[in-house]
Amino acid sequence: KQEVTQIPAALSVPEGENLVLNCSFTDSAIYNLQWFRQDPGKGLTSLLLIQSSQREQTSGRLNASLDKSSGRSTLYIAASQPGDSATYLCALLYHVPYKYIFGTGTRLKVLA
């Protein structure tokens, strides 16, 4: 069964701290992995997408890595800010059968 797990479910850190969010998956036959941010009561905003053949992607203070052999992806946030407070979701696109599977998310709170 294709499962995606995000641990921890919630995280609270002081402003300025570097942090890592984890996404684990059981089936590595993926097309790509996408990280999203969701603010309370809002939709999903795409942060980074890593193709199956790639190892990492970077955008500003965000860096996402993909290790298919271990079934893990990490989202690294440098110098966290209160504005980073949100829920972070990872989603994997599988092609056999074709579907996206989402993790349940990590709820991040950055304290000023």
Partner 1 sequence: NAGVTQTPKFRVLKTGQSMTLLCAQDMNHEYMYWYRQDPGMGLRLIHYSVGEGTTAKGEVPDGYNVSRLKKQNFLLGLESAAPSQTSVYFCASSYFPRADSYNEQFFGPGTRLTVL
| Residues at the site binding partner 1, with contacts judged by CB under 8 A | 31-32, 34, 36, 41-46, 49, 51-53, 89, 91, 93, 95, 98-100, 102-105
Neighbour tally for 41: CB within 10 Å: 5
- 51 or 81: whose CB is closer to partner 1? 51
CA–CA separation, 48 and 105 (whole Å)? 15
Q: Are 23 and 6 in contact (CB under 8 A)?
A: yes
- 8 or 16: whose CB is closer to partner 1? 8
CA–CA separation, 108 and 111 (whole Å)? 10
Q: Are 66 and 73 in contact (CB under 8 A)?
A: yes
- 7 or 31: whose CB is closer to partner 1? 31
Q: How far is the CB of 34 from partner 1 (least distance, A)?
A: 6
